[in-house]
């Protein structure tokens, strides 16, 4: 991403950022599914109430 701190005009900054985003190489496809690091809920024990 281009450094746009020095640009004070909002529209001009947007243009520069958008151009930089377009010029950047495409991101690689995910190797692991999203949310795979999330904590998984443990299976409920049979016969006990939830609350």
The rounded distance, in Å, linking the Cα atoms of 21 and 15 is 10
Domain boundaries, the chain: 1-25
DSSP annotation of 48: -
CB < 8 Å & 24+ apart, contacts of 16-23:
none
Q: Which regions of the chain are under pLDDT 70?
A: 1, 45, 47-51
Cα four-point dihedral sign 40, 45, 50, 51: negative
The beta strand positions in 1-51, using DSSP E, are: none
pLDDT, residue 1, reads 67
């Amino acid at each position: 991403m281009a450094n746009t701190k020095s640009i004070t005009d909002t529209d001009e900054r947007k243009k520069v950022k958008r151009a930089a985003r377009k010029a950047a190489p495409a991101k690689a496809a995910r190797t692991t599914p999203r949310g795979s690091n999330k904590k998984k809920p443990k299976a409920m024990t049979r016969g006990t109430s939830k609350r």
